[in-house]
Amino acid sequence: MNSHFELNEVTKKLPKHLHKYVVKQPYDDYTAQNQAVWRYVMRINVDYLSKVAHSSYLQGLGKAGISINSIPRMEGMNRILKDIGWAAVSVDGFIPPNAFMEFQAYNVLVIASDIRTIDHITYTPAPDIIHEAAGHAPIIANPEYAEYLRRFGEIGSKAISSSKDTEMYEAIRLLSILKEDPNSTQKDINEAQNKVEFLQQNIGELSEMAQIRNLHWWTVEYGLIGDLKTPKIYGAGLLSSIGESKSCLQSEVKKVSYTIEAAKQNFDITKPQPQLFVTPDFAHLSMVLEQFSNTMGLRKGGLQGIYKLIDSKNLGTLELSTGLQVSGVFENVISHEGQPIYFQTIGPTSLATRDRELIGHGTHYHASGFGSPVGKLKGINIPIENMSPRDLEAYQIYEGKQTTLEFEGGVLVQGEVITGTRDLKGRIVVVSFKNCTVTFENQVLFKPEWGIYDMAVGKEVISTYAGPADINSFEDLGKVSETKTHKIVYSEAEKHLYKLYEKVRGFREDNTIIENQLLEVFLMLKDTYKNDWLLTLELYELAFQKDFSVQKVFLTRLEKLQENTKFTKLIAKGLELIHRKKIQKS
């Protein structure tokens, strides 16, 4: 199979419809300043997190192929990740939640290809490679957590969204893109921010996907582990944020024991979190996930499950007690005494058993939708699905018989039986009729002139979930957002600055550090780029290591830059680390 990204033992198992979300990592587009931002964040974080993160974090950095000094390449990460049964792919920013979860279910981490700009070095609302690679990847080296992540993806990908969730996803995606692009106008950012806030305030009842997304946020992204008073960090959002990795442990941030109630707690991606949830261990995460799964249509089915499918306005699946799975966009349901007695899809629909499409019952055959009664026949104790061939003949459900089937809820099916379709175990799952009329009270649900009527067999709806039963049934499964991450346009001055960064990076990597060359770069920097603190810090680091006299000039410049409150803490952290590292070496 040809693919636009590297396939290995893990990624080759990805279903084809997920391939559309994968992009080629734009490694050559990363500037030398981007590399410096990665190195700064990683050095600061690893130094600090060695004291406050879960022990799996530091152990996992090497196992995940994460370098402190360079932005990782997907190919390199994958060669190492495969040893723990995982892989990584590059994507363009936020992807739809169901797709994100489905990747996870296949042991694949999705890693946003962009990296935060220097202006958002402490935190970015947009997913970036620091957050994804340095935050998510290391912890999966812990087997218990890795299984939680996989299982979460497996269940989360089946969570039913509401139509508002799709609107919210697009709004958050746009806001994150605008906030990370230095060329965005404040007007555009404000409009996007206002839309997100409006949707958050008017989201209504939380869908399954909204709730499971909350659980994901409070664990995988912003989770703490251990004791409530002295927890450790394991959430990727905290592990990748210079600011919040420290502030989250302060007493000002409320710590709450992690329970299923976290599913109801919404979050704001644009602000630090006022409270965090603490799990005693990774096994507890899986226990809460199972508790939540028991509330989902996936396991409960029924009338409420169908209502969720209808509200989603998206492709979903209903499974009957016979194991027959109906996949499509659900439009209507008729109920009686709290139970569904008839359901209807609109547009292409497929029928399947055990996640495999029934031959002859694909979307081309059921191109205009599918409807069927649910339940037992009136006055007959034995459900159709449990009838023997002799029973079927006795009740006129037999080839060539003209029959009238009246269901307990009042749905009436009248027509000539053509044939029945059975599953591998011999249980009848579909009965097909010709010259058929289906009615409920005064409502006609199917007319003879519409062709063959295929009636699903099942006394109850046992499961409802997002997506199709057979992923091969629908050709264009999932949609890639039309809002693309902005490719930043750099000015000539910025391009020149990045060449200076590249030169200094070369000095360090080649270990060709000459005092006059450092001073030469500094003078160009000082005269032209008065607010660039990071490259000045890198120059000082090299001069300090070599004990060059010019280090005093660089330090004076950094102290001057610290007067700008935006840089005060950033420079202080960098200097403290440089000085301490040299003491440790000596």
Both structure tokens of 246: 């420290």
Residue 323's nearest CA partner among 427, 244, 434 is 427
User: Which residues, at least 6 apart from 316, have a Cβ–Cβ distance to it below 8 Å?
Assistant: 160, 308, 309, 327, 328, 329, 330, 464, 465, 466, 467
**Can you give the pLDDT at residue 575?**
96
**Can you give the pLDDT at residue 167?**
82
Beta carbons of 431 and 384 less than 8 angstroms apart: yes
Q: How far apart are CA 122 and CA 118, in angstroms?
A: 9
Beta bridge partners of 454: 432
Sign of the torsion angle spanned by Cα atoms 156, 159, 163, 164: negative
**Can you give the pLDDT at residue 135?**
85
3-state SS of 409-435? CCEEEEEEEEEEEECCCCCEEEEEEEE
Is residue 180 classed as helix, strand or coil in its secondary structure? helix
Sign of the torsion angle spanned by Cα atoms 22, 328, 314, 374: negative
**Can you give the pLDDT at residue 340?**
98
Q: How far apart are CA 41 and CA 33, in angstroms?
A: 12
**3-state percent helix, strand, coil for the chain, nearest multiple of 5:** 45, 20, 35
Using only C-alpha atoms, the chain has a radius of gyration, in whole angstroms, of 29
Judge if pTM exceeds 0.85. yes
Selected from 1.10.800.10, 1.10.260.40, 2.40.10.340, 1.20.200.10, the CATH number assigned to the domain covering 11-290 reads 1.10.800.10
Beta bridge partners of 225: 232, 279
Q: How far apart are CA 105 and CA 84, in angstroms?
A: 15
**Can you give the pLDDT at residue 1?**
45
Q: State how far Cα 448 lies from the chain centre.
A: 45
Q: Tokens 């660039």 map to which residue?
A: 532
| Consecutive 10-residue averages of pLDDT for the chain (586 residues) | 72 91 92 96 91 90 86 88 89 87 94 88 81 86 94 96 84 83 88 86 86 95 95 92 88 96 87 91 97 97 97 95 98 96 98 96 97 96 92 92 96 96 90 97 96 97 97 83 77 95 95 93 92 96 95 96 93 94 59
Could you tell me if residue 53 is left (phi over 0), alpha (psi between -120 and 50 degrees) or otherwise beta? Answer: beta
Q: How far apart are CA 441 and CA 446, in angstroms?
A: 13
User: Which residues, at least 6 apart from 378, have a Cβ–Cβ distance to it below 8 Å?
Assistant: 406, 407, 408
Beta carbons of 410 and 440 less than 8 angstroms apart: yes
The 10 Å CB-count burial string (b at 16+, else e) for 175-198 is bbbbbbbeeeeeeeeeebbebbee
Q: State how far Cα 235 lies from the chain centre.
A: 14
Q: How far apart are CA 374 and CA 462, in angstroms?
A: 11
* Continuous H helices in 240-366: 244-247, 282-293, 297-300, 302-312
Is residue 25 classed as helix, strand or coil in its secondary structure? coil
Domains of the chain, by residue range, sit at: 11-290, 313-466, 492-585
**Can you give the pLDDT at residue 203?**
75
Q: How far apart are CA 273 and CA 340, in angstroms?
A: 42
**Can you give the pLDDT at residue 585?**
59
